Amino acid sequence: MPSPSSPILVATEIRKVYQTPSEEIVVLNGVSFALQAGENMAIVGPSGAGKSTLLQILGALDRPTSGSVSVGGVDPFTMNENQQARFRNEKIGFIFQDHHLLPQWNVLENTLLPALANGNPSVEVRDRAVRLLERVGLQHRMTHLPSQLSGGERERVAVARSLLLKPMVVLADEPTGNLDRHSAENVSQLLLEVPQEENTVLIVVTHSSTLAAKMQRCYELNAGKLQLT
């Protein structure tokens, strides 16, 4: 186990290069940073800069061409496929712009999704799901289907779900991108507060300068590198 002061998430010299028949596309060209428990950072940058690619590598959904990622002292790219799937499920919480909720499942069931990999959720996990939904203000929406919710409410389900299994790291890719200003502010507030209460590392890719300004650090991804803004 890492000591309390050692970083939870460390990215070291991450490069990502796509080889197309005509050219080599260098998307990430040496990205390094470290975040301690409870720390958060924003990543901004133009479309196509590689923000989603970086998040996918940090969450072990995609492999870097070179460089390494460490989460809680462990490099997910040294794991076999099963270990990696388990790692993603337990240590990483993902929040996407289009929230990826299952349409036929209600709010509580969608929130419990990460727990279903381990069979039926325990009473403790169900209680936690209910508490998280209360925390994001959805206590009256537990049995609603995603189609019966507003965009902001759907994103709030995604926030609760990302935290269900107490991950070390939450990665959010333009979580407020599809929301009106009022809903975006509401989701941003929860997105900043709830992981911090849980001492979880949070990285948010966003086009919102308001959201980015509220985070402890803000980096711009440009020409494959992160620069403090």
Instruction: Please give the residue ranges that form the binding site for ligand ADP (CB under 6 A).
Output: 18, 20, 25, 27, 45, 47-53
> Taking CB within 5 to 8 Å according to partner kind, which of Mg ion, ligand ADP, none is near residue 5?
none
Nearer to Mg ion (CB atom), residue 52 or residue 176: 52
> Taking CB within 5 to 8 Å according to partner kind, which of Mg ion, ligand ADP, none is near residue 47?
ligand ADP
Shortest Cβ 27–ligand ADP spacing (Å)? 4
Sign of the dihedral through C-alpha 74, 76, 78, 83: positive
Taking CB atoms within 8 Å and a gap of at least 24, the contacts of 83-92 are: 84/60, 85/117, 86/117, 87/60, 88/59, 88/60, 88/61, 89/114, 89/117, 89/165, 90/114, 90/165, 90/167, 91/167, 91/168, 91/169, 92/58, 92/59, 92/60, 92/167, 92/168, 92/169, 92/170, 92/171
Shortest Cβ 207–Mg ion spacing (Å)? 10
Shortest Cβ 212–ligand ADP spacing (Å)? 14
Taking CB atoms within 8 Å and a gap of at least 24, the contacts of 128-134 are: 128/164, 129/160, 129/164, 132/160, 132/163, 132/164, 132/194, 133/107, 133/108, 133/157, 133/160
> Taking CB within 5 to 8 Å according to partner kind, which of ligand ADP, Mg ion, none is near residue 37?
none
* Residue ranges in contact with Mg ion by CB under 5 A: 52
Q: What is the separation, in whole angstroms, between the first and last Cα of the chain?
A: 33
Nearer to ligand ADP (CB atom), residue 4 or residue 21: 21
Nearer to ligand ADP (CB atom), residue 153 or residue 174: 174
Nearer to Mg ion (CB atom), residue 27 or residue 69: 27
Shortest Cβ 187–Mg ion spacing (Å)? 18
CA 223 to chain centre: 23
Token pair 């970083």 is found at: 7
> Taking CB within 5 to 8 Å according to partner kind, which of Mg ion, ligand ADP, none is near residue 73?
none
Nearer to ligand ADP (CB atom), residue 49 or residue 163: 49
Residue nearest to Mg ion according to CB distances in the complex: 52
> Taking CB within 5 to 8 Å according to partner kind, which of ligand ADP, Mg ion, none is near residue 118?
none
Across the strands, what pairs with 172?
Answer: 95, 204
> Taking CB within 5 to 8 Å according to partner kind, which of ligand ADP, Mg ion, none is near residue 208?
none
Nearer to ligand ADP (CB atom), residue 13 or residue 62: 62
